[in-house]
A = this chain, B = another copy of it.
Amino acid sequence: MAAVPTLARRIARSGVRPLCRWPLAWGRAARQPPGLPLAPCRAFSNNKILVELDESSGVAMMKFKSPPVNSLSLDFLTEFCISLEKLENDRACRGVIFASAVPRIFSSGLDITEMSGKSMEHYAEFWRAVQEMWLRLYGSNMVTIAAVNGSSPAGGCLVALSCDYRIMVENPKFSIGLNEAQLGIVAPFWFKDTFVNVVGHRIAERSLQLGSLYPAPEALKFGLVDELVPEEKLQEKAMAVMAQWLALPDHARQLTKSMMRKAVLDRLVAHREEDVQNFVSFISKESIQKSLRMYMEMLKKKKS
């Protein structure tokens, strides 16, 4: 895998520490009868991501907590990679559930401010972090479940697509999709490959060209998400699905997962620097910068 020196340095100097130990107030553990001993649980947090690992079940909860919209900034991505790597290397952890701690949004996707008005070096560093996030998540040995408790456009959708299973809150106001084309930008080939692997070529072709965002019920229809549940059942459902996946022997499941995803992962690994250069030269075009500025203006107006 191509070296990612800057991100590696960021990870090294971050020194994320377990903050405390507390019971996992979540899912099955939370519904234990009072008085019973709670499962041992470690948690660590940093600025933007909260991680809780329930050692008895081997399941970690990773919650995105970067208001207002959990956008995937360089800082967020760095912390995401660090957190995921810690869990990947922790033999007590076999599965991770991803959810948002911010109401109504899972993640809004790549942080546009990282792609606008910055240096070429910054764009390259940012893009390597996006690649790194996907390579680690799509290639994770752990069972990964997206508990999509809010809208999830663009990069947020990619996070969900890269998991093994997607459960979404059945709220039609929450939408999901790779809508990059709407912003005048283009999803890179590995976003596309991941999407095609989930929904097939035709739906991917049409959806990517139109930059379609699908309300949860529509997303379910063609398999962009695997099931819908009421918001109050999401955590319970995610834990039940996780238990089903963890019932399989790890080594067989991991080898199978790798067999299914290797071709697509290898493709980015083989073209990683080329992909960075493509991104940098595309995003630094004045026409693209103008599109992004207009889009940000529109977002600001919407808010006020």
Task: List residues of chain A with CB under 8 Å of any chain B CB.
Answer: 164-165, 180-187, 189, 192, 196-202, 204-206, 208-211, 223, 226, 244-245, 248-249, 251-253, 255-257, 259-261, 287, 291
Q: Is the CB of A252 within 8 A of B184?
A: yes
In the complex formed, the residue of B with least CB distance to A255 is B186
Whether the Cβ atoms of A202 and B197 lie closer than 8 Å is: yes
A177 CB → nearest B CB, Å: 13
Which of B196, B201, B260 sits near A205, CB closer than 8 Å? B260
Q: A187-B256, A192-B260 in contact; A245/B181 too (CB < 8 A)? A: no
B223 touching A186, Cβ below 8 Å = no
B202 touches A164 (CB 8 A): no
Contact A196 B186 (CB under 8 A): no
A208 surroundings in chain B (CB, below 8 A): 256, 259-260
CB-CB under 8 A from A251, the residues of chain B are 184, 287
Query: Shortest CB–CB separation between residue A52 and chain B, in angstroms?
Result: 24
List the B residue with the shortest CB-CB distance to A258: B186
Decide if A248 touches B185 in the complex (CB within 8 Å): no
